[in-house]
Amino acid sequence: MNQRFSIVPVFYLAFLLIPLYWLLTMSFKPMKELAGQLTLYPKSPTLDHYQVIFSDSSWYLGYLNATVYVLMNVAICLVAAIPAAYAFSRYRFFGSRSLFFGLLAFRMMSPAILLIPIVQIFSDLNLIDTYIAVALAHCFFNLPIAIWILEGFISSVPAELDELARIDGYNLATYFRKILLPEIAPGIAVTAFFCFLFSWTEVILSNALTTIDVKPIGAIMSRVSSVFTANVPILSAAGVLTLIPGILIVILVRRHLTRGFSMGRVD
Amino acid sequence: MASTAQHRLAYGLLSPTLVLMILSGVIPFAIVIYFSLHDTFAGEHYIWVGTTWYEQVLGSAEFYAALLRSLGFSILALAIQLPLGIYIALKLPAQGLLSKLYIIIFAIPLLMPVIVVGYIWRFLVLPKIGLLSEFVALLGWNYDLNDPVVVWITLILMDTWHWTSLVVLLCFAGLRTLPDAYYQAAAIDGAGRWAIFRHIQLPKLRLVLLIAGLLRFMDSFIIYTEAYVLARGGPGVSTNFLSLELIQTATIQFDLGEGGAMAVIYATIVVVVAWLFFSRIIPSQSMKSQEGT
């Protein structure tokens, strides 16, 4: 692999960072400066816009709400996907191939396609405006991707290990806990990363399934945007704050990311 | 052949997944199909209308126009992001502090809510106070958001900014799995850079590229929020993608039948494309090695 210093990643880094820098400066500019003319950095920086967010519960609770249902979704997906991925990896059973594809097909459906029936179902179940409704609804796109990634990792664990564990008297649950899960730790990390990513960034379903109590930050931002120009700095500040959970998650799973992204195929 | 006990065990392990998928995916999609075959008044009485809605959707020029726009957007996104992502991954340092730093920063756009991505790019092109629009003006061009070409370029730029890192990270990880011995052997054979890429690195990237391509196709084809925030489908209908058309029909006009038929057609297209990708991925995966058992 390339070991020499290359300028290419630096250019890409600049391309990524300039829009982020712009968001950051906008969030510190007073309204008057922003509306006046273009300034490359805030001449008289202010924390007013952040103060608005931190002093109004309908704003700051949005972050908490989104974090709660996203973490619930990640947990649900991992718990359901690990045994399913194991079944797909180790057993060839009736319909396994079509089932695997059928699951993946759901990953490709836009939330827009299923929006109305999903809202109907969760309102029939009396779950509108609850964390669990969003966490469950996001399963249709996250669970298939979780199974797909984990299947790759489990397949790279030699099946002989299963045999040995059985001879040692391990049942399936003990085998999972003591042998399989530690082996596929990078896979679990990268799966959690993807589930977090797709659930945290989704807006259509999470907006439609929530009304007051558990509105996520994305939905709050889209509501405010109706009086658009007046709110540019506040939306910028709100946008900056949405970066924090993402950065935390990257730092948390970074150790596993590169191995994880190879999708288990280390050979 | 697998025994009955194995079947039972396999389905037992799959049962939580099946329950969750039936609740969040299968039943909703069945309801969409039901909508597409019925007409309704205020969502209370449903009357069977057969394929009327399908004929209406497939006979409408707007539908094909929206479909073409969505396909065009996906193809452009893939054509730019896959080669760019591979190129950047090849140029990344394999290890060290710099490598770690790159990876963390590259991942940031991926983890931004789509609505924030839409706002960032909208703010970059605000007339008079946007960094990008003013920079373009400085070069002597007019950044005109009433020009469909300008809006398309902005959308593609935004999508590239948002998602190229996914390709970079997948390819970088794929390249890391190549043993150094391969490069040493290639050096002994006097292979040039292109030959190394073509015959050693690219084959290794096949699986991760298919995954990246599939994810990028799916997500660019269903683009909604960012496009809506940036341009609201305009100017005119020039960025009115399939998802925008679908949400407009189903939730704003509340036309369940027509929206349903559109959704079923949309899902069919996506599944066919996905099958083309999928049938190339699976033979390389474990399912093949178990075919004989």
pLDDT per residue as tens digits for the range B145-186: 888 999 999 999 999 999 999 999 989 988 888 888 888 888
Q: What is the DSSP letter of A129?
A: T
Residue B190 has pLDDT above 50, yes or no: yes
Stretch 161-190 of chain A: residues touching chain B, C-beta under 8 Å: none
Tell me the two tokens of residue B286.
């474990």
Rounded CA-CA distance A186/B240 in Å is 40
B88 has a pLDDT exceeding 60: yes
The confidence score (pLDDT) of residue B155 equals 94
Angle (deg, nearest 10), helices A48-55 and A8-28: 70
The nearest CA of chain B is from the CA of A63 a distance in Å of 11
Q: Is the pLDDT of residue B287 over 50?
A: no
Continuous H helices in chain A: 8-28, 31-36, 48-55, 57-90, 96-107, 111-124, 131-137, 139-155, 160-167, 172-175, 181-183, 185-201, 204-208, 217-224, 232-261
pLDDT of residue A102: 87
Residues 6+ apart with CB under 8 A from A65: A131, A210, A213, A214, A215, A216, A217
Q: Which of A22, A93, A105 sits opposite B271 (nearest CB)?
A: A105
- Segment B230-255 mean pLDDT: 82
**How many Å apart are CA A186 and CA A210, to the nearest integer?**
33
What residues of chain A lie within 8 A of the CB of B259, using their CB? 116
Express each pLDDT in B6-63 by its tens digit.
888 889 999 999 999 999 999 999 999 999 998 877 667 788 888 888 998 899 888 8
What pLDDT is attached to residue B137? 86
Kindly report, residue by residue over A165-215, the tens digit of the pLDDT: 888 888 888 999 988 999 898 899 989 998 999 999 898 899 999 988 888
Q: CA dist B251 to A114, A196, A208, B212, Å?
A: 11, 27, 11, 31
Q: Are B119 and A94 within 8 A, CB to CB?
A: no
pLDDT in tens, B102-123: 988 999 999 888 888 998 998 8
What's chain B's average pLDDT? 86
Range of weakest confidence among A29-33, A86-90, A254-258: A254-258
- Which tokens go with A94? 């009736």
The Cα–Cα gap between A137 and A139 comes to 5
* Residue A96 pLDDT: 83
Q: Kindly report the CA angle at A110 between A188 and A241, in degrees rounded to 5?
A: 60
Kindly state the tokens that stand for A140: 């249709």
User: Which among B119, B224, B256 has the least Cβ separation from residue A112?
Assistant: B224
* pLDDT of res. A266: 47
Distances (CA, A) of B156 to A139, A236, B152, B159: 28, 22, 6, 5
CA distance A98 to A104: 10
Beta carbons of A23 and A240 less than 8 angstroms apart: yes
Mapped onto helix, strand or coil, the DSSP state of residue A42 is coil
Spatial distance between the Cα atoms of B51 and B38, rounded to a whole number of angstroms: 9
CB A150 within 8 A of CB A81: yes
Quick one: three-class SS letters along B221-263? HCCCHHHHHHHCCCCCCCCCCHHHHHHHHHHHCCCHHHHHHHH
Measure the CA–CA gap between B219 and B199, rounded to whole angstroms.
Answer: 30
Closest CA to B215 of A132, A194, A75: A194
Determine the distance in angstroms separating the CA of B46 from the nearest CA of chain A, rounded to an integer: 15
B194's enclosing H/E stretch is helix B193-196
Q: At what angle do helices B114-124 and B148-176 cross, to 10 degrees?
A: 130
pLDDT more than 90, % of chain A: 41
The whole-angstrom separation of Cα A175 and Cα A183 is 11
Check: CB of residue A189 under 8 Å from CB of residue A260.
yes
Helix axes B148-176, B61-91, angle to 10 degrees: 40
Q: Is the pLDDT of residue A256 over 90?
A: no
**Beta-bridge partners for B45:** B41
For range B268-287, the mean pLDDT: 70
| Cβ-contact B249, B258 below 8 angstroms | yes
Provide the pLDDT confidence category of residue A2 given band limits of 50, 70 and 90.
low
Q: How far is CA B261 from the centre of its chain?
A: 22
Give tens-digit pLDDT for A216-250.
888 888 777 655 566 788 889 999 999 998 888 88
**What token pair was written down for B130?**
């946007």
pLDDT of residue B290: 41
* Structure tokens that stand for A63 in this block: 């972050």
Within 8 A of B107 by CB-CB distance, chain A residues are: 246, 250, 257
**Distance from A136 to chain B by nearest Cα, in Å?**
7
| pLDDT tens digit sequence for B255-273 | 888 889 999 998 898 888 8
Q: In this structure, what token pair is assigned to residue B145?
A: 């958001």
What is the mean pLDDT of the segment spanning B210-231? 85
- Judging contacts by C-beta atoms under 8 Å, the chain A residues touching residue B241 are none
Selecting from A92, A106, A249 the residue whose C-beta is nearest the C-beta of B293 gives A92
Least confident of B38-47, B95-104, B180-189, B236-245: B38-47
| Whether B26 contacts B231, CB under 8 Å | no
**Residues A184 and A154: beta-carbon distance below 8 Å:** yes
**Are A109 and B29 a contacting pair at CB < 8 A?**
yes
- Chain A contacts of B113, Cβ < 8 Å? 200-201, 203, 217-218, 221, 242
